[in-house]
A and B are shown apart, each in its own frame.
Chain A
Amino acid sequence: MVVIDATGRPPMASGAVPRPVRSRNPLDHDVPTGREEAWRFTPLRRLRGLLTGPDADGKVSVTVSAPAGIAVEQLDAADPRIGRSYTPADRVAAFALARAGGATAITIPAEAATAEPVVVHLHGESPRAAAGTAAGVAYGHLLVEIGPFASATVVLDHTGSATYAGNVEVHVGHGASLTFVSLQDWDAGAVHVGAHAYSIGRDAKLRSFTVTLGGDLVRLSPTVDYRGPGGDAELNGVFFTDAGQHQEHRLLVTHTPRSCRSRVTYKGALRGDGAHSVWIGDVVINADAVDTDTYELNRNLVLTDGARADSVPNLEILTGEVVGAGHASATGRFDDEALFYLQSRGIPPAEARRLVVHGFFAEVIDRIEVADLRDRIMASVAARLGETPAEDEPATPAGAETVGA
C-alpha cells in the first residue's frame, strides 16, 4: 500500500506511557472533559451517558455454548474471583464492574485440551436500532479462566444492539495456551465500551483476535500483564470503520517479568464520511523485564475521502537489555498500481478493490484457526464493502491523517 506517513521513531525516543488511576470505585475516576490523553479521540457525547453510570434499561443476553467438561457459572457480585486480574482504569469500566451485578465465569480445567471452541454469544436485545438512536443501557462482566497447561479457544460474539459497558478478565494459567477471539459484529446503533484484561501466566501463550466491524461507537481497551517469565502474547486486530462509525482500540502491554514476548498487529480499513478509527499502542518494558521481545504494528487503509485514522504507538523502555522492541504505524491509500495490475487482468474496479482489501485483512484473519469464524468475518467484510454503492472512481489523495504521540 502507499504509505502516507510512517512513524519510524527509534523506540528509545518514545514518550512515557501514561499510568491511569486504578480503582473499582467509579468516583475515583474523574469525569473526562475530552482533553485527557485517554479521551481526546473519543466523541464523549456519543457514549450515551456511560460516563455517569445510568441505570440499566436494556439487556445484553449471554449464552455460552461450551464442550463438555468446561464449567459455566453465574458469579454473584461478592465473588472474590471478580476483579482478580483487572482493576478498572477508567470511569466506564468502574461503572461496568459496579453495575454488572456479578459475572459469567467460564473455567477450563487444568490440562484440558479442547479442540472445539467455547462460544459466548452476547446479544444486545434492543430492537434493531439505526445509527444515532439510543439502544438500552446494559452492563456485563465476563471471567475466562484457563487452567494450567490447558489449551482452549474462546470466542466472544457480540451482535444485536445495546449501549453496553462490559469488561472481560482473562486469566491464562501457567503453561496454558489460549486463542481468544472477540468479534464486534454489532448492529449499526450499538455503543460498546469495554476493558479486555489478559493476565498471562509463566510460559503461557495467548493469541487474541479483536475484530470490530459494527456499532456506532466501539471503544475497547485490551491490556496484557505477565505473571511470570516466558509469557507470549499475540494481539491481533482487524477493524472496518464505515461512514459515521467510531472505532477505538487502546492497547497497553506491560512487560514486568523477564523473557516475555508480545506482538501487536492491527489492521484497519476505513470508508466513508465521518469514519474514524483510533489505535493506541502503548508498551511499557519495566526495569526488570530484561530479554523482552516486543513489536507492534498498525496499518490503516483509507478507502475514501472523509475518513480519518489516528494511530499512536508509544514505547517506554526502562531496561537496556531487550531482545527487540519496535513499532510501526502507517496509514495509506489504495495502491493505484495494484489496482491497475488487477484491472489489467480483466477484473472490474470494484472487485479489484475488494480483492485488495481482502488481501490486506487476510494476513491477520488467516491466522484464526476456526474456519467458520474466519469465513464469517471475511464474508462480513465483503458484505460491508459491497453494501453502499462503491464509487468507481479511484480514491483521490488527502483526508488521511496519522497523529504522532
Chain B
Amino acid sequence: MTAAVSTLEIRNLHVSVETEEGPREILRGVDLTVRTGETHAIMGPNGSGKSTLSYSIAGHPKYTVTDGSITLDGEDVLALGVDARARAGIFLAMQYPVEIPGVSVSNFLRSSATAVRGEAPKLRTWVKEVKASMEALEMDPSFAERGVNEGFSGGEKKRHEILQMALLKPKIAVLDETDSGLDVDALRIVSGGIEAVRAKGETGILLITHYTRILRYIKPEFVHVMAAGRIVDEGGPELAAVLEDSGYDRYVKGGGAAAPAGAGAVS
C-alpha cells in the first residue's frame, strides 16, 4: 500500500527580507519540484540563500515572497499560515532549533502530533511510538522530560528535529543543514533516522547541506547547487562527487551572496 504521491512545486520564487537599509532580495527566482519518495540535495556556499528557501517554504514571517509561487498538490502554500503548512504535510528541520523553556519535549511532541494528525494520538500506542523512535535515534528516555531544546547539545538538537520528522510523517521534509555541527557518531545516528523515514517512501526529502559528507549516508537522486539566491546547477548524484572534489569556487567566482544580481550564475 502506498500513499498517493504529493508534489511540492516552487516556481520563480523571489524572497526579500527587511533590513535597516530597506528590503533586500535574497532569493532571485528559484524553481524546484519535490515529490514524495524523492530525495533532493541542495548544496551551496554559506550565504547563498539555502536557509531563506527553507524558511520561506515553512512560512517564517521575516521572509517576504515578492514573486513566484509555492504549491503543494496544487494548493497555494503561500496563502497558508505557518501552522496550516505543517498540518498540510510540510516539515522543516531547522538549522538552529529554538529553545522553549519550561515546555517539556513530551508535551511538545504530543501537542504537535495532535495538531498535525487532527486528533490526539491514543496514549498507549503513542508512548510506544515515541519510545521506539527515540531508541532508534539513541536518545535517552529522560530526554522527554527536558525543556524543548533547553541546554541541548548540537547533536541532541538535531536528533530531536529528526525525531519530530519521524513522528509527524510529513509529505515533504526540508532538512536545513541537519548534518552541520555533528561529530561522526551523531552524523551516523541522525543519518540513520533520516534514512529510516526515506525508506518508507512516504516523504519527499529536501536535504540542504554545505558539505558532502552526509551524502555518504543518504543518496539523493537529484542534486541542486544554489548560489546567490538561484539554483545554478542541477544533476544526479555525480554532481555531488564533482562538488566534493572542486568545491563551490566555479559557482561563486563573482563574489558569492553579496554579489549583484546575475553574478555567480555560471554553469
Q: Find chain A residues with CB under 8 A from B60 CB.
A: 340
Question: Does chain B have a CB within 8 A of A328?
Answer: no
Q: How far is the CA of A335 from the CA of B103 in the complex (A)?
A: 14
Cβ-defined contact, B112 with A347, below 8 A: yes
Q: How far is the CA of A346 from the CA of B97 in the complex (A)?
A: 16
- Return the contact of B147 from the options A345, A359, A394 (Cβ within 8 A): A359
**Total A residues in contact with B, Cβ cutoff 8 Å:** 27
Question: Does chain A have a CB within 8 A of B17?
Answer: no
Question: Does chain B have a CB within 8 A of A341?
Answer: yes
- Return the contact of B82 from the options A335, A340, A355, A362 (Cβ within 8 A): A340
Cβ-defined contact, B100 with A361, below 8 A: no
Cβ-defined contact, B61 with A345, below 8 A: no
Q: How far is the CA of A351 from the CA of B168 in the complex (A)?
A: 18
Residue of A nearest to B116 (CB): A346
Q: Find chain A residues with CB under 8 A from B58 CB.
A: 344
Enumerate A328-369 residues with CB–CB distance to B below 8 Å. Answer: 335-338, 340-349, 351-352, 355-356, 358-363, 366
In the assembled complex, the CB of A392 is this many whole angstroms from the nearest CB of chain B, namely 9
Residue of B nearest to A351 (CB): B111
Residue of B nearest to A361 (CB): B102
Cβ-defined contact, B94 with A341, below 8 A: yes
Residue of B nearest to A366 (CB): B102
- Return the contact of B103 from the options A1, A343, A358, A394 (Cβ within 8 A): A358
Cβ-defined contact, A348 with B100, below 8 A: no
Cβ-defined contact, B100 with A359, below 8 A: yes
Enumerate A297-353 residues with CB–CB distance to B below 8 Å. Answer: 335-338, 340-349, 351-352
- Return the contact of B86 from the options A343, A358, A359 (Cβ within 8 A): A343
Report B93-106 CB contacts with A as 1/0, cut-off 8 Å.
01001111111000
Report B72-107 CB contacts with A as 1/0, cut-off 8 Å.
000000000111011100011010011111110001
In the assembled complex, the CB of B97 is this many whole angstroms from the nearest CB of chain A, namely 7
Residue of A nearest to B149 (CB): A341
Q: Find chain A residues with CB under 8 A from B115 CB.
A: 345-348, 351
Enumerate B144-158 residues with CB–CB distance to A below 8 Å. Answer: 147-148
Cβ-defined contact, B61 with A344, below 8 A: no
Cβ-defined contact, B100 with A341, below 8 A: yes
Report the tally of A-B residue pairs with Cβ distances under 8 A.
83
Q: Find chain A residues with CB under 8 A from B91 CB.
A: 344
In the assembled complex, the CB of B110 is this many whole angstroms from the nearest CB of chain A, namely 11
Q: Find chain B residues with CB under 8 A from A362 CB.
A: 102-103
Q: Find chain B residues with CB under 8 A from A348 CB.
A: 83, 115
Question: Does chain A have a CB within 8 A of B108?
Answer: yes
- Return the contact of A340 from the options B61, B99, B112 (Cβ within 8 A): B61
Cβ-defined contact, B82 with A360, below 8 A: no
Cβ-defined contact, A343 with B83, below 8 A: yes
Q: How far is the CA of A336 from the CA of B108 in the complex (A)?
A: 17
Cβ-defined contact, A337 with B98, below 8 A: yes
Question: Does chain A have a CB within 8 A of B178?
Answer: no
Residue of A nearest to B115 (CB): A346
Cβ-defined contact, B100 with A345, below 8 A: no
Q: Find chain B residues with CB under 8 A from A338 CB.
A: 98-100
Q: How far is the CA of A363 from the CA of B103 in the complex (A)?
A: 9
Which among B85, B86, B97, B100 has the highest number of chain A CB atoms within 10 Å? B100
Q: Find chain A residues with CB under 8 A from B147 CB.
A: 359
In the assembled complex, the CB of B11 is this many whole angstroms from the nearest CB of chain A, namely 22
Cβ-defined contact, B86 with A345, below 8 A: yes
Q: How far is the CA of A126 from the CA of B264 in the complex (A)?
A: 76
- Given contact pairs A345-B164, A346-B115, A346-B116, A356 touches B100 in the complex (Cβ within 8 A): yes
Q: How far is the CA of A338 from the CA of B149 in the complex (A)?
A: 11
Report B23-42 CB contacts with A as 1/0, cut-off 8 Å.
00000000000000000000
Q: How far is the CA of A352 from the CA of B103 in the complex (A)?
A: 11
Cβ-defined contact, B168 with A345, below 8 A: yes
Q: Find chain A residues with CB under 8 A from B86 CB.
A: 343-347
In the assembled complex, the CB of B62 is this many whole angstroms from the nearest CB of chain A, namely 8
Cβ-defined contact, A346 with B112, below 8 A: yes
Q: How far is the CA of A341 from the CA of B149 in the complex (A)?
A: 11
Q: How far is the CA of A348 from the CA of B87 in the complex (A)?
A: 10
- Given contact pairs A346-B116, A346-B168, A355 touches B103 in the complex (Cβ within 8 A): yes
Q: How far is the CA of A351 from the CA of B164 in the complex (A)?
A: 18
Q: How far is the CA of A363 from the CA of B147 in the complex (A)?
A: 10
Q: How far is the CA of A293 from the CA of B94 in the complex (A)?
A: 40
Q: Find chain B residues with CB under 8 A from A358 CB.
A: 102-103
In the assembled complex, the CB of B77 is this many whole angstroms from the nearest CB of chain A, namely 13
Q: Find chain A residues with CB under 8 A from B116 CB.
A: 345-346
Q: How far is the CA of A360 from the CA of B185 in the complex (A)?
A: 34
Enumerate B102-157 residues with CB–CB distance to A below 8 Å. Answer: 102-103, 107-108, 111-112, 115-116, 147-148
- Given contact pairs A347-B111, A351-B111, A358-B103, A341 touches B98 in the complex (Cβ within 8 A): yes
Q: How far is the CA of A345 from the CA of B107 in the complex (A)?
A: 13
Q: How far is the CA of A24 from the CA of B101 in the complex (A)?
A: 45
Which among B83, B115, B148 has the highest number of chain A CB atoms within 10 Å? B83
Q: List 10 contacting pairs A-B, 8 Å CB cutoff, sorted by A.
A: A337-B98, A342-B111, A343-B81, A344-B91, A344-B92, A345-B108, A345-B112, A346-B115, A356-B100, A356-B103
Additional A-B contacts beyond A345-B108, A359-B103 (5; CB < 8 A): A344-B85, A349-B81, A359-B102, A360-B102, A363-B102
B→A interface (CB under 8 Å): 58-61, 81-83, 85-87, 91-92, 94, 97-103, 107-108, 111-112, 115-116, 147-148, 164, 168
In order of increasing CB-CB distance, the 3 nearest A-B pairs are A359-B102, A346-B115, A345-B112
